[in-house]
Amino acid sequence: MPVLAAELAHFEYKVSVVVIGAGACGLTAALAAAEAGADVLVLERDARPTGSTSLSTGLIPAAGTKLQRAAGMEDSADLLARDILNKARQQSDAGMVHAIAHAAGPTIDWLTESHGVLFTLVEGYLYPGHSVRRMHGTPNRTGRELESALLAAAGKMQIDIVCSALATDLYATPDGRVTAVRFIRPDGSSETIGCNALVLACCGFAGNKGMVREYIPEIADAQFCGHVGNQGDAIAWGRELGAALADLGSYQGHGAVATPYGNPINWGVLTEGGFQVNALGQRFSNEVHGYSEQAVETIAQPGGFAWNIYDEIRERPILGFTDYREVMALGGIRKAPGIDALATLIGVPDYALQQTFAEVDAIRAGKRADPFGRDFGNTRPLEAPLCAVKVTGALFHTQGGLVIDTDAQALRGDGSKLPNLFAGGGAARGMSGPSRWGYFSGGGLLTAVTLGRLAGSNAARLARAAA
């Protein structure tokens, strides 16, 4: 992924803003840039855009949206920022977190009202780290649906998206001003396009086994549920251009991916009072710290798997999730009339599962403390029919990337701006701090759409000034 000297670039046409990547970040950036009057071109390596966005559940946290207000939900950008910073143990950039939290609500309203992306508020349970209900998702709670809605919006704005176009090289002046991008087609032919500004929206490096092993060895052998095309290109270009990079050891994992199906099981069944046991029928962690940090807990269990244990009451709010319905249709959700029958069904020792249920109920009733430090709150004991699903831990996407400012413009190590380079979503440093435990539920798409919008509009502004 080299950066070549600007004078080597030969291009016949030029646009104001080139966006690399057609996931949530790239498409949001393109919408914002086009709205600001720029001519935009999006380059996407896949024949049909299927980045992490399409593979995701598509849920985006935001505060103060019209949907929240209509539901009578009290929330604020400051509370959202506080929740994000608490989850990251104050180890992420507070200024960026505040900027993103304040942009979140307006971005959801803007996508809905100006671009026809239909969201509803997720009701029925809280996500780890969220003080109030603030997850917004498209009706069937799939990233495919979100991606399709964004593509439709881009189509309405007549934004050019060139698919099967793998961006390989950037051309730049010695001070880091990107003047052109070269991309190759599946037949090996290549084209170069000039630009006044560039938005890197090609996510992180989770699809690059070598980089994952180098920067995040703890998750390198886990299942990978994200997009294999995300090879760390933004990081490679950023490094060559002199951009600062941060938090490369940070990532979003997930500790309850249904196995062997590969679909994430919604965390609501756990936050509302369910729990996880291993093959020995024993709990092994505080399940509600967060789903990201739970990935390594789950894969550390005998056989590398666990069972989510819950009941039909906790299942009800997630029946609308396509991911869950698919696992159910394939027979992955086991149900039994009692603990003994459930133990037999899932093959864990009967006496151990009985004991785990008894211990959890004693913790719920305040008769003993949880050895893992979990507060079961006011949750009620599980009731028959009981449910179980076999799960494992997985890597979803990486959280480290280019350091940007609140305009989503890339910065050098000394804090100065690179002349015309912007980044967002998985290409930019996330809000999680340095590790797995800082990931805030929904933080991936939150940074994709808010930073995408900021990157697009600011790239358009800068491109206009440069024209």
Q: How far is the CB of 19 from ligand FAD (least distance, A)?
A: 9
Verify binding: residue 271, ligand FAD, rule CB under 6 A: no
- Give the one residue of 9, 17, 41, 49 binding ligand FAD; rule: CB under 6 A: 49
| Window 84 to 113, contacts with ligand FAD (CB under 6 A) | none
Q: Which is nearer to ligand FAD, 428 or 463 (CB)?
A: 428
Verify binding: residue 425, ligand FAD, rule CB under 6 A: yes
- Give the one residue of 17, 18, 19, 26 binding ligand FAD; rule: CB under 6 A: 26
CB 153 within 8 A of CB 99: no
Q: Which is nearer to ligand FAD, 220 or 352 (CB)?
A: 220
Q: How far is the CB of 427 from ligand FAD (least distance, A)?
A: 6
Verify binding: residue 22, ligand FAD, rule CB under 6 A: yes
Q: Which is nearer to ligand FAD, 56 or 68 (CB)?
A: 56
Q: How far is the CB of 162 from ligand FAD (least distance, A)?
A: 9
Verify binding: residue 43, ligand FAD, rule CB under 6 A: yes
Q: How far is the CB of 138 from ligand FAD (least distance, A)?
A: 11
**One-letter amino acid identity for 406?**
T
- Give the one residue of 15, 17, 58, 438 binding ligand FAD; rule: CB under 6 A: 58
Verify binding: residue 281, ligand FAD, rule CB under 6 A: no
> Contact region for ligand FAD (CB under 6 A) — 21-29, 238-246, 352-360, 363-371?
21-29
Verify binding: residue 432, ligand FAD, rule CB under 6 A: no
CB 252 within 8 A of CB 220: no
Verify binding: residue 226, ligand FAD, rule CB under 6 A: yes
Q: Give the 3-state DSSP-derived string for the chain, with helices as H, strands as E and coil as C.
A: CCEEEHHHCCCCCEEEEEEECCCHHHHHHHHHHHHCCCCEEEECCCCCCCCHHHHCCCCEECCCCHHHHHCCCCCCHHHHHHHHHHHCCCCCCHHHHHHHHHHHHHHHHHHHHHHCCCCEECCCCCCCCCCCCCEEECCCCCHHHHHHHHHHHHHHCCCEEECCCEEEEEEECCCCCEEEEEEECCCCCEEEEEEEEEEECCCCCCCCHHHHHHHCHHHCCCEECCCCCCCCHHHHHHHHHCECEECCCCEEEEEEEECCCCCECCCHHHHCCCEEECCCCCCCCCCCCCHHHHHHHHHCCHHHCEEEEEEHHHHHHHCCCHHHHHHHHCCCEEEECCHHHHHHHHCCCHHHHHHHHHHHHHHHCCCCCCCCCCCCCCCCCCCCCEEEEEEEEEEEEECCEECECCCCEEEECCCCEEEEEEECHHHECCCCCCCCCCCCCCHHHHHHHHHHHHHHHHHHHHHHHHC
| Window 152 to 181, contacts with ligand FAD (CB under 6 A) | 166-167
> What is the Cα Rg of the chain in Å?
23
Verify binding: residue 130, ligand FAD, rule CB under 6 A: no
Verify binding: residue 327, ligand FAD, rule CB under 6 A: no
Binding footprint of ligand FAD, residue count (CB under 6 A) = 45
Q: Which is nearer to ligand FAD, 242 or 426 (CB)?
A: 426
Verify binding: residue 438, ligand FAD, rule CB under 6 A: no
Residue 259 CA to residue 297 CA, distance in Å, equals 16
Verify binding: residue 202, ligand FAD, rule CB under 6 A: yes
Contact string 69-88 vs ligand FAD (x = CB under 6 A): --------------------
Q: Which is nearer to ligand FAD, 216 or 448 (CB)?
A: 448
Q: Which residues of 26-62 are buried (b: 16+ CB within 10 A; e: fewer)?
A: bbbbbbbbbbbebbbbbbbbbeebbbbbbbbbbbbbb
- Give the one residue of 3, 33, 41, 53 binding ligand FAD; rule: CB under 6 A: 53
Q: How far is the CB of 263 from ligand FAD (least distance, A)?
A: 8
Q: How far is the CB of 333 from ligand FAD (least distance, A)?
A: 18
> Contact region for ligand FAD (CB under 6 A) — 121-129, 219-227, 276-284, 360-368?
219-227
Q: Which is nearer to ligand FAD, 311 or 323 (CB)?
A: 323
Strand 166-172 relative to strand 160-162, pairing: unpaired
Verify binding: residue 250, ligand FAD, rule CB under 6 A: no
Verify binding: residue 290, ligand FAD, rule CB under 6 A: no
| Window 440 to 459, contacts with ligand FAD (CB under 6 A) | 442-446, 448
Residue 446 CA to residue 437 CA, distance in Å, equals 17
Binding site residues, ligand FAD, CB under 6 A: 20-26, 43-46, 49, 51-53, 55-60, 143, 166-167, 201-203, 225-227, 229-230, 233, 252, 264, 396-397, 425-426, 442-446, 448
